[in-house]
Amino acid sequence: MTVGVAIIGSGNIGTDLMFKVVRLSKTLRVVAMVGIDENSDGLARARRLGIPTIHDGVDGLLRMPEFTDVELVFDATSAGAHARNDALVRNEGRLMVDLTPAAIGPYVVPVVNLDENLGATNVNMVTCGGQATVPIVAAVSRVAPVAYAEIVASIASKSAGPGTRANIDEFTETTARAIELIGGAERGKAIIVLNPAEPAIVMRDTVYCLVAGEVDEAAVRASVEEMVLAVQDYVGGYRLKQHVQFDPVDEPYVPALDRPFRGTKVTILLEVAGAGHYLPEYAGNLDIMTSAALRTAERLVLARAGVSA
């Protein structure tokens, strides 16, 4: 079976997602590509692929005859635009996969909590930093109590478009909440760094977890490595940069916790390279978002049809 989908947003994320659906998915087919700039590269490429396009945003999508074949809509616009897009799309009975930080629906990281959200009509893909690091926090927390987790996502400036730059605050807030809600940390914090280095750097992520009490290092290491393999199933460029690190902590006061802490700091260093479907290899931050969205959408439409993955 193949299910018709539409993509709202013809920028970098929407265009890369379009190519992923066309090239990789046996479940989905793009029947409409929607933007607001008639001359955008994304709409031009869609037209060359024979995909119907419109440049009147979500209102135009609802008028397209192809909309009758749409069962799921990807929103790759902005947090500000998503509320209206979501209301109109779900009012028409369609599923919504949200690639903005709007977080109207539940946060979803495919390898961690997709199964429990297969009945949702709107799911939020958190952020690029969240998709890269929440699985790692979850891997640690399933074998050890994580009192605090902090992530630092460093991405190439060239891979941060206007949507990313306009939503920096939402990025940090949404990622921190996901670290707690999905990752299982008591408290979470997220930092994003836009690195202007030339040549452009591949996405790098550092995950710090403060684990109380004794730590079974072998169990933590095995859990992290297992999670990395699970993410690699849909993000081929995702990998550990080096072995998991363990450092003892015995401090009379830790500001992040507002209390004394004795235990272990677990440090995990990651790298995420893009697949090069539309974007350069260094844009792993965008690639992990579109890859996660594709995996999520495939599972959602199969679940709605009563087909097991």
CA gap 187, 177 in Å, rounded: 8
In the DSSP assignment, the letter for residue 264 is: E
Instruction: Take residue 9 and report the two structure tokens written for it.
Output: 């947003």
Instruction: Give pLDDT tens digits for 286-295.
Output: 999 999 999 9
**Do the Cβ atoms of 168 and 194 come closer than 8 Å?**
no
CA gap 47, 274 in Å, rounded: 24
Whether the pLDDT of residue 269 is over 70: the answer is: yes
Q: Nearest-5° angle of CA 23, CA 24, CA 28?
A: 95
Q: Three-state DSSP class for 145?
A: coil
In sequence order, the β-bridge partners of residue 204 are: 154, 271
Which of 212, 228, 13 minimizes the C-alpha distance to 100? 13
pLDDT at residue number 277: 92
Query: Could you tell me the end-to-end alpha-carbon distance of the chain, in angstroms, rounded to an integer?
Result: 12
The residue from 128, 153, 227, 231 that is catalytic is 128
For the chain, the average pLDDT equals: 95
Give CATH 3.40.50.720 domain extents, the chain: 3-125+288-304
Give 139's pLDDT tier (boundaries 50, 70, 90): very high
Could you give the C-alpha distances from 184 to 84, 144, 187, 199, 218, in angstroms and in order?
Answer: 31, 10, 9, 36, 20
Could you give the C-alpha distances from 60 to 6, 69, 255, in angstroms and in order?
Answer: 12, 15, 50
Peptide bond before 199: cis, by omega within 30 degrees of 0?
A: yes
| Cα R_g (the chain), whole angstroms | 19
Which of 142, 70, 71 minimizes the C-alpha distance to 111? 142
**Contacts for 183 with CB less than 8 Å, ≥ 6 apart:** 112, 133, 134, 136, 137, 138, 141, 146, 149
Q: 66-70, 169-173, 204-208: lowest mean pLDDT where?
A: 169-173
Give CATH 3.30.360.10 domain extents, the chain: 128-281
| Residue 21 φ then ψ, to 5° | -60, -45
Q: Is 128 a catalytic residue?
A: yes
Which of 144, 133, 161 minimizes the C-alpha distance to 40? 161
Instruction: Take residue 100 and report the two structure tokens written for it.
Output: 């903005």
pLDDT at residue number 309: 64
Report the CATH fold assignment for 128-281: Dihydrodipicolinate Reductase; domain 2 (3.30.360)
Type of residue at 221: R
pLDDT exceeding 70 applies to what percent of the chain? 100
CA gap 287, 280 in Å, rounded: 9
Compute the average pLDDT of residues 166-195: 93
Out of 1.10.3470.10, 3.30.559.10, 3.30.450.20, 3.40.50.720, select the CATH number for domain 3-125+288-304.
3.40.50.720
- The residue with tokens 């965008």 is 286
Type of residue at 28: L
CA gap 148, 227 in Å, rounded: 19
Q: Count the Cβ atoms, other than its own, within 10 Å of residue 23.
A: 10
pLDDT at residue number 50: 98
Q: Three-state DSSP class for 72?
A: strand
Give 80's pLDDT tier (boundaries 50, 70, 90): confident
pLDDT at residue number 275: 94
- The residue with tokens 């992290």 is 224
CA gap 274, 178 in Å, rounded: 23
Q: Count the Cβ atoms, other than its own, within 10 Å of residue 49.
A: 13
- The sign one gets for the Cα dihedral 171, 111, 195, 198 is negative
Instruction: Give pLDDT tens digits for 244-256.
Output: 999 999 999 999 9
Instruction: Take residue 24 and report the two structure tokens written for it.
Output: 């990789």
